Structure 1
Amino acid sequence: MSTVTTIATAHGPAATDSLADLVVLDKASPVPLYFQVAQQLEAAVEGGKLPPGTRLDNEIELADQLGVSRPTMRRAMEFLVDKGLIVRRRGVGTRVVQSRVRRPLELTSLYDDLKNAGQEPTTTVLSNTIEPATAAVAEALGLAEGTPVAVVVRLRSARNQPLARMCNYLPAALLEISTEALESQGLYQLIRAAGVRLHAATQVIGARNATAAEARLLEESRGAAVLTMERVAYDDHGTPVEYGTHIYAATRYSFQLSLLTG
């Protein structure tokens, strides 16, 4: 049997929806109660029913309202903290924060992923130049050092919040890309429109602390954590056509992997 319970009290003008129907617990289900609570709260945050800034009651009150134990409620809240959906601070309480953009590891552009997720992507082109390939870029693209390459540096934002600084290198002979096109379309869209069939990529993901300039660009605190990604994309003939080095604000972005057992 399922029970519908009020789970939180929202404060502020952004919280206009009723919260009485957000959580439906099935105590007969084999799914742990903490996970039922966490999943439904996550869905409420991602769906905008618990907008950023919503204040949640403390764990004791939430546990009483739901009819679950305090350890169960605490575990559900820790799950949401770990996913970056809520923050808990002394003197402030527990509040919903902007949900992270989660990107599946597929051969797609960030622009397409954000657009498909309804995240309203915007692009600021920081530079768009032709330069001689450095040794590292030449090696990644399989070119001779000094070969002309297009160097595109962009700031990608979603919902008016900066997410990533992206630097991409392409053989200059591959295609000509205008700044206007880069501001309105994804890079992979433009590559495909030029008749290039993207087939595969190698990708390395890491993390480090932002430099002062990177932190300012991403509107993060100095030394904040950033995710890093290096990718080389290949066409259907196995020829490297694009090399990218990107950084992402870790507070608003994560990568999502699907793993299968063999």
Structure 2
Amino acid sequence: MKLLFVGDVVGKAGRAVIQDRLPGLISDYALDFVIVNGENAAGGFGITEDIFLDLLSAGADVVTTGNHVWDQREALVFCERHSNFLRPINYPRGTPGKGAGLFMARNGARVLVMNAMGRIFMNALDDPFKAVHQELEAAPLGDVSDAVVIDFHAEATSEKQIMAHYLDGQVSLVVGTHTHAPTADYQILNNGTAYMSDAGMSGDYDSVIGMDSTEPVSRMTTAIPGSRFAPALGEATLCGVAIIVDDTTGLTTAIEPVRIGGRLSQHIPSFW
């Protein structure tokens, strides 16, 4: 199974590159399943229902989020209408929405997607390791699910790596989001789980993590806040990671980054 995970979509530029590039990638390379992190899609802060639906129209099967999930307050309502809109699974009991779901891929495979949030240097939620473990017990790989993907929205690389080793051999992919910079450590761990510390962002890289650089530079050099951060509007890069999942084991046999458009070096996976 060919699976694509797309990193945090930031603002209008990020949405544009998804709309322009994702449909062609799905058709040209016969992608079976696509996950998109959309938590910064609405002006860099959260996501609206209309934008969520636009991402689905472009080809996303599931949209994940992170710490900005509730920045657009309407998400508290529309999250209940869409099972393929995920907020972090380790929010307290009773929080609207869902943090995991079992979905059907285009090839008929059952894909369990989980969205978890880290606790180091972030507002602490419930234990992400316990939350993920409980969900896996209910839908184990090779039994209820044919592939399992974890979007671990976290600040600390060490916490992301710990999650990957904790789950090695039990899931297909652990991929980090949140820091908006693609990492070079994509790999398959010893027991078959693919890992990448951060998928990067889908946005304008002539920026400060997707935001126009003027205000961040001013704040850093003067210690005086000025205007609100605004997404950079230049040509964006669609950034993410692709894997091949073994149809028998549900583990990963190949992993490579994806970088299309914009100013970053371009990369299309060799196995597409």
- TM-score, normalised to structure 2, is 0.25
RCO comparison, higher one (Cα < 8 Å, 6+): 2
TM-score by length of 1: 0.25
Asked which structure has the greater CA Rg, the reply is 1
